[in-house]
Amino acid sequence: MKDKNSLNAEERALAEMLAETAAQVEIGASFQNELEKKLMNSHKPKKGFGLFLFGKAASTLVSVLGFAILALTFIWVIRAISSKPQPAFPVSETPTVTATAAKSTLPPSTATFETLPTFSSILFRDDFEGTLGNDWQWTHENSGQWNLTDSGWLEIMVSYGIINNSNMDNLLLRQAPTGNFELETRLNFAPMEAPQMAGLLIYENNANYVELVHGACLTQPCRSDAFYFDQMTRGSFIEENFATPVLGTDSIHLRLRFEGDSFTAYASENGMEWKLIGIHSQKIQPLYIGLFAGGSFDRSAQIPAQFDYFIVNALP
């Protein structure tokens, strides 16, 4: 910020937030290039009168030569000169074909299939059959936007807002166990638009958490419909989000491990073979664990995220 030293602390904090937000607003490259081309074309110097006369003279000369050499075309030339030609039928502009879809890039090199043993020390399991298990706590509960289905799924409607802004409804949390642990769920979710997301959460506070989600996102390094593994530390996201294409079905298994100071994310189609999504290793204090569905900008969207079960395993 230039010459803003006269502001008091509160005003400066606000000014910095404005400048920081502004710096993140990027102009679309295609729009910028198209406008530049348009301006360049508009700037082209117009033909001078001399050039116009020269063009007319050249045209006449060609006509005269054509008249002398090709007698058969003489009448046609005379007719063409004497009457302004009219198109036989209206000419419509050919529509321009533009590429509307960009191919996504290849998955990150860390995405490889591997079979992982599931540690059998189950600390907690909730199959969402009829009632919620003990010791769950809702954060920002919106009771009209979640329910337990007859077929045994916890269904949370995707909420407006995001965790970092403290404006996401229906975070279902419970206290994290001590020591190393592993979370697992089966999620049935089809995000409709960016950045709707649903998945597992390891939470210290709004500025420090880890989330493994199935979500939609439109801009790089995101993929349109993919797994994302984000870590927020001290209010900022770690660079890598490990965007990995979904496995070809809306129903997937997610697994999130906490070991030492590392968080490791996996996904699976069948709950047997697991695909490594990525590893985050910034230290946070896992106080709560749970499930959530949010990030929607459409407040009226009724997109369900369905969780079949939630398991907490102890890890050595």
Partner 1 sequence: MTTTMTTHPNSPPADEVDLARLARKNAEAFGELYRRHVTRVYRYHMAHTGSIKDAEDLTSQTFISALENIGSFRGTGSFAAWVLGIAARKKAMFFRRIGTRPEVQMEAADQIPSPGLLTEQLANQRLRLDSITRALKQISPERADAIALCFFSELTYAEVGLALNKSEAAAKMLITRGLQDLRKRTPLAFEVEP
How distant is the alpha carbon of residue 278 from its chain centre? 18
Q: How far is the CB of 244 from partner 1 (least distance, A)?
A: 12
Question: Which residues 29-58 are close enough to bind partner 1 by CB under 8 A?
Answer: 29, 31-32, 35-36, 38-40, 42-45
Return the number of the residue (44 or 84) whose C-beta is nearest partner 1: 44
Q: How far is the CB of 39 from partner 1 (least distance, A)?
A: 6
Q: How far is the CB of 205 from partner 1 (least distance, A)?
A: 14
Return the number of the residue (246 or 312) whose C-beta is nearest partner 1: 246
Return the number of the residue (104 or 147) whose C-beta is nearest partner 1: 104
Residue 105 found at the interface with partner 1 (CB under 8 A): no
Q: How many residues bind partner 1 (CB under 8 A)?
A: 64
Helix, strand, coil % in the chain, rounded to nearest 5: 20, 35, 45
The helix/strand/coil state of 45 is coil
Find the length of the chain: 316
Q: How far is the CB of 161 from partner 1 (least distance, A)?
A: 7
Cα–Cα distance, 57 to 45 (Å, whole number): 22
Q: How far is the CB of 128 from partner 1 (least distance, A)?
A: 26
Tokens coding 31: 């729009």
Cα–Cα distance, 301 to 197 (Å, whole number): 13
Cα–Cα distance, 149 to 133 (Å, whole number): 15
Cα–Cα distance, 6 to 11 (Å, whole number): 9
End-to-end CA distance of the chain: 51
With CB under 8 A as the contact rule, which of the stretches 107-115, 126-134, 214-222, 267-275 interacts with partner 1?
Answer: 214-222
Q: 211 near 198, Cβ under 8 Å?
A: no
148-157: burial string, b at 16+ Cβ within 10 Å, e else? eeeeebbbbb
Residue 150 found at the interface with partner 1 (CB under 8 A): no
Cα–Cα distance, 4 to 103 (Å, whole number): 44
Cα–Cα distance, 105 to 257 (Å, whole number): 27
Pick from 169, 182, 184, 211 the residue near partner 1 by CB under 8 A.
211
Tokens coding 136: 């769950």
Q: How far is the CB of 7 from partner 1 (least distance, A)?
A: 7
Q: How far is the CB of 194 from partner 1 (least distance, A)?
A: 6
Pick from 156, 162, 252, 267 the residue near partner 1 by CB under 8 A.
162
Residue 313 found at the interface with partner 1 (CB under 8 A): no
Q: Residues in the site for partner 1, rule: CB under 8 A?
A: 1-4, 6-7, 9-19, 21-22, 24-29, 31-32, 35-36, 38-40, 42-45, 161-165, 167, 193-195, 197, 211, 213, 215, 217-222, 228, 230, 232, 237, 239, 241, 295, 297-298
